Amino acid sequence: MKRIAFLSLVFAGIVGCHADQALPPGPSAEIQDATHLDGNPFFFWLPPTVNQQAPSSQVFSSKLRPVITIIDQGPAGAPSGNCQADNTVRTFSGSDITVSNATYHVNWRTDQDDLHAECTYRITVNVGPRLDSPELGHADVDLVSSGNQLKNVDTDEFIPLLDGRTLPITFFVGVGATC
């Protein structure tokens, strides 16, 4: 009888430990440009996207045709049915993007997209319309549902964004970015 009780406890322990597995990690959060994560040395996110200035030593490349893509990276933590990993939320190109004062600029009106605070979104800038065109940089967005949550966003890893607001996406591309 003691043997059956012992084996039952061992079996319960094995089953219990097997069922108690950690959740899969969410997407890695990052900002990549010339000053973050060894990105393209000719690409810089600019304010208000990231708080930095383009270097005065570089020449702005105004003739490029960048494509900005917003992609759902999946849930930031626990699984969520609202997140659609690798789903393109929005694409900006051509006349969507303005060029002035040595910057490329577009306004992402998030109230026009079905976004969810539990998802992570990545802004990617490529040059050219093809899927295999070179990526210049990317930045992850932490979408929050209240103004109080904005102060808790790690701005070294995320661009903070209040749901329903407009995010100005501004960046500098220097001559040599596509070489």
Residue 85 within a domain: yes
Residue-range definition of the domain harbouring residue 157: 23-173
Is 73 within the bounds of a domain? yes
Please say if the pLDDT value at position 77 is more than 90: no
Residues of the chain with pLDDT > 70, as a percent, come to: 80
Is position 145 within any domain?
Answer: yes
Helix (H, G, I), strand (E, B) or coil at 36: strand
Q: Where is 89: in which H helix or E strand?
A: strand 87-92
Strand partners, 69: 91, 124
CB 120 within 8 A of CB 140: yes
Please return the burial class of 117, using the count of CB atoms within 10 Å of its CB with bins 0-12, 13-18 and 19+. middle
pLDDT of residue 19: 42
| Rounded mean pLDDT, 4-22 | 44
Evaluate whether 94 touches 120 at the Cβ level (below 8 Å): no
* Number of domains comprising the chain: 1
Q: What amino acid occupies position 73?
A: Q
| Pairing of β 66-75 and β 87-92 | antiparallel
Residue 42 lies in a domain: yes
Which of the four pLDDT bands, split at 50, 70 and 90, describes residue 10?
very low
Residue 1 lies in a domain: no
Question: Is 159 within the bounds of a domain?
Answer: yes
pTM here is 0.80
* 36 part of a folded domain: yes
Q: Is residue 6 part of a domain?
A: no
- Mean pLDDT is lowest, of 70-79, 92-101, 104-113, 169-178, for 70-79
